[in-house]
Structure 1
Amino acid sequence: MGSFKGHVLPGSLFLLVGVWHMWSCLVQYVSNPKSYKVRVWHPVSGFNGKLKHLELYVITGGAFIDMCIELLYSPHLKIFVNGMLNPNHMNDFEHSGMLLMFFIFGVVALLSVKTRYLPLPEGALCLIAAAAFCSEYLLFYFHSTTHKGLEGYYHLLLVFLVGLCIASILAGTLLSDSFPADLCSGAAITLQGLWFYQTAFVLYGFMMPEGCHLKGNDIVCRSAESETRGELLANSQLFGLVLGVLALAVAFYGLAAKSFGHSDLQSLLVSGEQEFD
């Protein structure tokens, strides 16, 4: 069982990174569509280059802070009990392990782009990012906390979104010039962040479905019909978020094309229309 803050904090990190990834890859595409290359992270322009690596700092710092909360604060520094890991906080230790992978990705990426000691190609950084999402997938799929009922259904949909992140990043690794794969990666990360928020509001906030309530550490529904209604509501919520992210991508594309559009962009659109004629 988690908490409202325990879902909002990682959700905020995924949402920030995902939205920035979507915007950046759209700007990169409309600026020079013929030379598009997949990037696992995107620099922040301007400010004399002082904020160039801001995304990597957000990932590294955010993962580190959240990892410290899960590893140190949540178990109140009682990591070991009777010579073994505290059995009452195994889920916190699992979360910290997942966050450690994202922290490692951020550190490795910073070392790669800011120093000469670990020069890695973009494909290698993509694989490390995919490995971090794989650890998240395995965590939620084989969680020591048994998610069941309505809570389990929300986490099942989360596992699906994490899998989508893995697939899109791997596709970008194999197809290094694929704009759709890169955009899909940003959209999947954005959706994951939004779904963390959605889970927090439903399971621990004001959007609890009728007939279900929080009892101790479990979500309890008074009947099978109430639980099924809650699951159908979850499907509708995910569908609405997908539509929202698609609308955001279209809005971003229009704004980016207007502000940064290259002449090659219009020629590509014209040639594409001629192929269908």
Structure 2
Amino acid sequence: MGSFQGHLVPGTLFLVIGVWHTWSSVVRYVSNPKAFKIRVWSPVVGFGGRLKYMELYVVVVGSFIDLCIELLYSPHFRYFVNGVLNPSHMNDFAHSGMLLMFFIFGVVALLNEKTSDAYVRRYLPLPEGALILIIATAFLAEYLLFSNHSTSYKGLESYYHILLLLIISISIISILTATLFPTSFPLDLTCGISITLQGIWFYQIAFSLHGPMMPHGCNLKDNEIICKLPENEVRGELLANFQLFAAVLLVFVAVLGSYGFAASRYGSSELMSMHAATDGFEED
């Protein structure tokens, strides 16, 4: 079932990483469209290089903290009951596996950039495609986790997680396709947008199923969402559709605004020439 905080923490991580990935993708493209290449993570330029690896630090530290919450705090070290894994915390253990994959990606990416050990350097740096496959595996683990949620949960809660699966699947497809088209700006942008939407949707689940936005006629009872009438459940699902549409619209408007701002501030002559050629083609 999860909790309000349990959805808020990963939602914040996905939102921060998604917004940064989207913004950096836009800036890199408008700065030099012809040399654009997809990056699995984006360094922070400026600040004397002190914040260069900030994205990876957020991934490593954030996933580690959330991993500790799921694996240490939630079960209170009661991992076994009567000789078997504690059945009351199987959900926490499953979440830990997903978070471990993101933690591994962050650590490998940092080692890929920063290690100076001669033995490690025999195997590093990894090509960008290898890092893309690692992060794709992490998203696949996330998909498998929440696909189980969508079948084990009932009614409204299952529906919210089905919509989450749709967003995660877009992340997986865009990331894997990027290995085939490493210079595609739309693919890189799609990846950033889908990760941002994941963060927003985790927030939406927290507020809709564990907070003040619970649909009318539905309540949280015995760790399960119970709707008084079938009509209330249908209304809740329609409301979820509208919430997802609003989130997508919000993100796309923000991306368009970001592109316009970035183009005016960081746009290269090549970008202006491309826009001019496009305008000329439309006039013809």
Which range, TM-score by smaller chain? over 0.9
- Report the Cα distance in structure 2 between the residues aligned to 1:143 and 1:265, rounded to whole angstroms: 45
The corresponding residue for 1:209 is: 215
Gaps of 5+ in 1: none
The corresponding residue for 1:34 is: 34
Q: How does 1:251-262 map to 2 (within 5 A)?
A: 251-262=257-268
Aligned identity (percent) is 63
CA gap 1:237/1:144 in 2 versus in 1, 3 angstroms:
closer
Alignment match of 1:163 (pick from 166, 169, 172): 169
- Report the Cα distance in structure 2 between the residues aligned to 1:196 and 1:118, rounded to whole angstroms: 35
Given that residues 45 and 52 in structure 2 are in contact (C-alpha distance below 8 angstroms), is that contact kept between their aligned partners in structure 1?
A: yes
CA gap 1:144/1:167 in 2 versus in 1, 3 angstroms:
closer
Q: How does 1:112-191 map to 2 (within 5 A)?
A: 112-115=112-115, 116=121, 117-143=123-149, 146-191=152-197
The alpha-carbon deviation at position 144 of structure 1 amounts to 9.6
The alpha-carbon deviation at position 84 of structure 1 amounts to 2.0
Residues 199-249 of structure 1: CA distance to partner in whole angstroms, max 9, x if unpaired? 100001111111111112010001111000000000000000000000110
The corresponding residue for 1:198 is: 204
TM-score of the superposed pair, with normalisation by structure 1: 0.97
Given that residues 91 and 145 in structure 1 are in contact (C-alpha distance below 8 angstroms), is that contact kept between their aligned partners in structure 2?
A: no
Q: CA RMSD for the aligned pairs?
A: 1.2
The corresponding residue for 1:101 is: 101
The corresponding residue for 2:15 is: 15
Residues 112-161 of structure 1: CA distance to partner in whole angstroms, max 9, x if unpaired? 11123521111111111111000000111124982110011001101111
Given that residues 91 and 144 in structure 1 are in contact (C-alpha distance below 8 angstroms), is that contact kept between their aligned partners in structure 2?
A: no
Q: How does 1:215-230 map to 2 (within 5 A)?
A: 215-230=221-236
| Secondary structure of 1:45 counterpart | coil
- Aligned residue identity for 1:28: R
- Report the Cα distance in structure 2 between the residues aligned to 1:186 and 1:225, rounded to whole angstroms: 36
The corresponding residue for 1:247 is: 253
Given that residues 39 and 122 in structure 1 are in contact (C-alpha distance below 8 angstroms), is that contact kept between their aligned partners in structure 2?
A: yes
Residues 76-128 of structure 1: CA distance to partner in whole angstroms, max 9, x if unpaired? 11012222211110000000000000000001111111123521111111111
Gaps of 5+ in 2: 116-120
Given that residues 161 and 192 in structure 1 are in contact (C-alpha distance below 8 angstroms), is that contact kept between their aligned partners in structure 2?
A: yes
- Aligned residue identity for 2:263: A
